[in-house]
Structure 1
Amino acid sequence: MPFPRGKKPSVTAGSKIPKLRGKGIENQEEGPQVKRSSSPPQGAPKKRTAFVDLTNAHKVHISLPGTKKNSLKKTQKKKATSTVLGKNEANLKKSGSMSSESQEEKKRGEEEAPIEELVVVDAVPPRELPPHLRRPQIPEEFDIDSQHQEDPTLTAQYAKEIFDYLKAREEKFILSDYMSIQPSLNAGMRAILVDWLVEVQENFELNHETLYLAVKVTDHFLSVAPVNRENLQLIGSTALLIASKFEERCPPCVDDFLYVCDDAYKREEVIAMETSILQALEFDINIPVPYRFLRRYAKCVSASMETLTLARYVCELSLQEMDLVPERGSLLASACLLLALVTKELGGWSPILVFHSGYEVSELVPVVRRLHSMLTSPPDDKLLAVRSKYSHKVFFEVATTPTVDLDTLERALK
């Protein structure tokens, strides 16, 4: 029986109905309940519920007072619609017979009408790209990327442009001898720091690009900010942390660098130094390093892994030399490769290397002579990390390779 207005029905055992609360669901008031139609209006897109039908209206039919009257009204509506549909079908049949005659007349008129000739408009010629957007033309004898066109990871279509861009960016990062603004530092202290960074890179198993970038970041910071010698290790380790974030997939955390520094610095000092370095470099740490150019140029002559490793050894050993800091990374990589090729008796600076590097032999001569002097000089007992690293079998023991004599080198340079 219906409940009187103003009073809530008493809930008996077994008749509890959960209330739904949420977006668009409000507490229903008592009284005659009107069932909301679930079908959308004609022409409207069908609604899709996020989960399921919360009312379970398609499964359970709840009989409430007044439902029989609603069902009678529905049956009457169905009968009325069926009679209307029957009349519409009869009208459609009549109109179909009338329209068939008009369609035949239209077909006859279309057959008798003359066919108009189609006018072909000339295609618009493609616009030429401006010179700075055109891809460089590479002669076939100098093309080293066509064999990797199907490998998307090597980006062979843009390899030449990428290295031309890196070579152009070197102009922004040219350094000079900055020791004049560092009263408490000297070249020997810097060499010891680089030697220590090589050990950290090897212990953490970091990429070689990370080591080269850390040295570059350190040099650029020292060229603009005078520091005390007590903070030199803090600067080097923080620079390696920044380079790791830039190059590594899983860079070491701050606590790892505090550990390798033997807890000489606090966590707050490392974070503060990181902020100072990034601000000094204006957050531009995409500095071209010689290691990237070295791999590219070795590919031009199809150098073996042993020859490339020898060039890497010379290049990594040059990181400790203060007088080689002002040299561009691409030129330093070219000089290291040329020295390795002459040492292995694989020829000199070929035309394909001139094309891809942009350097003639005459431009490499001063740097090659300086590298040869570095290899022939007696090693410092404090700087043994690079030599011991490349004396391992993994690196083909290239550190034990005899250095080419000066006369043979001079003939190759001529």
Structure 2
Amino acid sequence: MPRQGSKKQSSVTKSKTNTYQNQEDVYKMKRTPSSPQGGPKKRSAFIDLTNTTKTHTGIQMKSGKTDSRAPDGKVICRTHAIRTDSKDFSSDEQPKKAEFKQEDSPLDGFSVCQPDEPSAIQEQKVPEEFDIDKEHAGDCFMSPEYAKEIFDYLKIREEKFILSDYMHNQPDLNQDMRAILIDWMVELQENFELNHETLYLAVKITDHYLSVTVVMRELLQLIGSTAMLIAAKFEERCPPCVDDFLYICDDAYKRQELIAMEMNILRGLNFDINIPVPYRFLRRYAKVAHVNMKTLTLARYVCESSLLEVELVSERASRLASACLLLALITQGLGGWTPALQYHSGYLLVDLSPLVRKLYAMLASPSNDKLKAVDNKYSHRVFFEVAKIPLVHTDTLEEALMVI
């Protein structure tokens, strides 16, 4: 006969097991979003182009040394104390802590190292007429003291992630296949109700991986879904789990293949996935222009449509966002590129005019019947039906782009 204590222990163990199972069920539960396109739908992005061959290679992950910075800008290198014996110290035998002198490091357990080079961002005074963050003074969530410096840093950082047209290095891919993949990723972002930043980052991750790795077409959807998983882990508070991505791919891939592709992508990008995306710049510049939500949504529509164009892969995120906003301002008859926008973006009207013309031609060209995700998304009343707004006449566009 088992003892009473063992019964209690067994009941506690069962209750813990049930609790963990319930938590896991909630975590893996399929989402039922209220997006314009309805709930998640299984779909293969390429139909006959996928599910033929599935290969992956194993990788070895290397750990890197991390560092942080002290308030004075010095690099703080974390150090770890290693015990060489297993002797326990009594209260009387505790070694006395060395008292820090004024010249010693103020942080216990850290060593202070001088940076190799001065910071590229210099503190600057924002002119009063261009200070759009003063209204949020004291709001720690808006970080008004650092907003300008943050976006200046992002502009510097985006220089590291400039791409060229890599499609000529992919013998088994073409730009139409990439467009189909991005169109499917737009649907994926809607079905899971992910942030727009997640979609843009996933597209950036996909392009950067394809620029350094030659892949076969049957792996293209696996790359796209894995890039969305990585971006969701980076951007979302509660990202979808692996099973959700396997489900949305119509079970075309196995769990091990998706995890192996995740490691391959991270290794191909040197684990540096904090890539500046145009969506962040677009929100910042729209705030500078004091536009309403409909105009911002129109600029988002233009920017999201540009994701399908491989010719625009090489554009800087900040410049693309600026051109999308300028085209939206012209379309809505709200003026042109103001001095405030020029100050915060760093671009003159002459810098943006060629790209605005490209975006205008993109919207004016006949749409592909196979690539309807963006148009359908922004034709819904939730997005003010901005996809149905007619384009301005070319004469009006050229007049607005004329440099005085």
**TM-score, normalising length: structure 1:** 0.68
- Please tell me the residue identity of whatever aligns with 2:337: W
Find out whether 1:156 has 2:122 as its counterpart: no
2:378: which partner in 1? 390
- Distance in 1 between the 2:393 and 2:327 partners? 11
Alignment partner of 1:283 out of 271, 279, 286: 271
Spell out, residue by residue over 1:181-230, the C-alpha distance to the aligned partner (whole angstroms, 9 max, x if none). Answer: 10000000000000000001000000000000000000000000000000
2:193 is the alignment partner of 1:210: no
The CA deviation string for residues 203-262 of structure 1, in whole angstroms up to 9 with x for no partner, is: 000000000000000000000000000000000000000000000000000000000110
CA deviation string 1:248-290 (max 9, x = no partner): 0000000000001101100000000000000000000000000
Q: Report the AA paired with residue 243 of structure 1.
A: A
C-alpha separation between the residues in 2 aligned to 1:301 and 1:132? 27
Structure number with the bigger relative contact order (C-alpha 8 A, sep ≥ 6) is 2
2:398 pairs with 1:403: no
Distance 1:247 1:133, change over 3 A: closer
Identity level (%)? 70
- Does the C-alpha gap of structure 1 residues 221 and 133 become closer, same or farther in structure 2, counting only changes over 3 Å? closer
Aligned residue pairs, count: 287
In 2, the alpha carbon distance for the partners of 1:266 and 1:404 equals 48
Question: 1-side partners of 2:167 and 2:122: how far apart?
Answer: 43
Letter of the structure 2 residue corresponding to residue 167 of structure 1: K
Q: Distance in 2 between matches of 1:131 and 1:177?
A: 32
| Counterpart-to-counterpart distance in 1, 2:184 and 2:355 | 25
Amino acid at match of 1:207: N
- 2:355 aligned with 1:367, yes or no? yes
| 2:175 is the counterpart of 1:187 | yes
Shift of residue 132 of structure 1? Answer: 5.7
Which runs of structure 2 are paired with 1:13-24 in the superposition (5 Å)? Answer: none
Per-residue CA deviation, residues 342-382 of structure 1 (Å, 9 max, x unaligned), is 00000000000000000001111111000000111111000
Aligned partner (choices 114, 130, 134) of residue 146 of structure 1: 134
- Structure 1 residue 131: deviation in Å? 8.4
- 2:243 aligned with 1:255: yes
Paired residue type of 2:177: M
TM-score by length of 2: 0.70
Match of 1:339 in 2: 327
The match for 2:299 is 311
CA-to-partner distance for each residue in 1:110-130, whole Å, 9 max, x for gaps?
xxxxxxxxxxxxxxxxxxxx8
Q: Does residue 242 in structure 1 map to residue 230 in structure 2? A: yes
CA distance, structure 1, for counterparts of residue 305 and residue 129 of structure 2: 33
1:136 CA drift (Å): 1.2
Q: Residue 286 of structure 2 aligns with which residue?
A: 298
1:404 Cα deviation after fit: 1.1
Q: Is the 8 A contact 2:121 2:153 kept in 1?
A: no
- For residues 179 and 269 of structure 1, what CA distance do their matches in structure 2 show? 24
Provide structure 1 residue ranges, at least 5 long, that are not aligned to the other structure.
Answer: 1-43, 45-129
Give the letter aligned to residue 368 of structure 2. D
Which portions of structure 1, spanning 4 or more consecutive aligned residues, are displaced by more than 4 angstroms?
Answer: 130-134
SS in structure 2 opposite 1:223?
helix
- 1:378 pairs with 354, 361, 366, which one? 366
Structure ranking higher in helix proportion: 1
Rounded to whole Å, the distance in 1 between the matches of 2:312 and 2:392 is 21
2:156 matched to 1:168? yes
Structure 1 distance, partners of 2:119, 2:173, is 48
